[in-house]
Amino acid sequence: MPAYYRNALAFNEMLLSFYFVVCFALIGISAHQWDWEPVAFFVVTIVVLLNGHKMNARINSVAYAAISIAWCWWHNEFLGWHYSGHLLLLPVVLLVFFNIFNPPWFKIAMCAALFAFRMVLFSRSMNAVPVYTLGHTAGIVAQTVNSITLFGILAADAILFSSSIQDTERKLRLDNQELHKEAGTDPLTQLPNRRAMINTIEQFRKTNPEEPFCVAIADIDFFKKVNDTYGHNCGDYTLKTLAELFRKNAGQDYIVCRWGGEEFCFFLPGKNIDQAWNVMFDLNSAVKKMPLKYEENEFSITITIGIEENDFRSPMEDILALADKKLYMGKITGRDKVVM
């Protein structure tokens, strides 16, 4: 059983035990007769409260319901209907409905049973005289005590249950955000993946239909040689180091993603092809100067880049295909260059 439900039960039982003591004193002072039934209710409630952490929460909730139902019966028989003791059935209904292990049919059946019990109490109060007759002042006090107890229990339960629901919703929202992030993130480089990049570009095209932009696809030259010479772990190290360089140099110029394998894709919003070429040329130069060292092995890499500008007509797939075609042209004409 969730902690918030156990806390609600404990608070309800604590408030009820205090309430029984007040009722004991109120009846004794007003009716000039000390009736010990409220004390018995107090003792039973305290025993349940003190053992609540040991017993099964469902048993605890049944015990609380039994105490509340028995008290409502006693209160109706001895003090009558008009002091609203029967309203202490409402927290029982609340606890029944917030018990996550109760199936819907059980909750409806319990609600109907409690309603029927309340109507029985009302019917008896119409045909019977209460044992104790409280004076005017005592009656006001009794009504006030019952109201404070009822609203205190309902308020506490509502706060506990609503806070739990809000915490659960907050956790779900954070979990969903994390899952969404993971779904759009390359696990090795922690860069956005292909899906995330396409979504980013399409969103830009939708919200900025008149703005120029370029896309560029870069590929590591002779990456297979790195893997074959130094091992695949070194290849992973190279990809992660390169991704960090791309992140460091991005600024406001571009967004980069891992396109797949040793390929990276760049989105340069607001830039024409000449501006994009300058950015990519500087990045190409930075890659050549980037020191790489893995297990005492020092080496360097180069990249080839193909750039294509948005023509405001072609679908995104065609623009990316043209950038990839220019990348291929750079590969077959010597590598380590930027082709536009």
Nearest Cα neighbor of 94 from 148, 10, 157, 17 is: 157
Provide the mean pLDDT of the chain.
88
pLDDT for position 333:
94
* CB under 8 A, 24+ apart: contacts of 154-163: 154/90, 154/91, 154/94, 156/8, 156/11, 156/12, 156/15, 157/8, 157/11, 157/12, 157/91, 157/94, 157/95, 157/98, 160/4, 160/7, 160/8, 160/11, 161/4, 161/8, 161/94, 161/98, 163/4
**Predicted confidence (pLDDT) at residue 180 exceeds the cutoff of 60:** no
- Range(s) of the chain covered by CATH 3.30.70.270: 194-339
Mean pLDDT of 39-55: 86
- Please tell me which of 83-87, 146-150, 165-169, 318-322 the model is most confident about, judged by mean pLDDT: 318-322
Mean pLDDT of 52-58: 76
Question: Domain 194-339: which CATH class?
Answer: alpha beta
Query: How does pLDDT run across 238-294, given as a tens digit for each residue?
Result: 999 999 999 999 988 999 999 989 999 999 999 999 999 999 999 999 999 999 999
**For the chain, percent of residues with pLDDT exceeding 70:** 95
**Residues 235, 218: Cα–Cα separation, whole Å:** 16
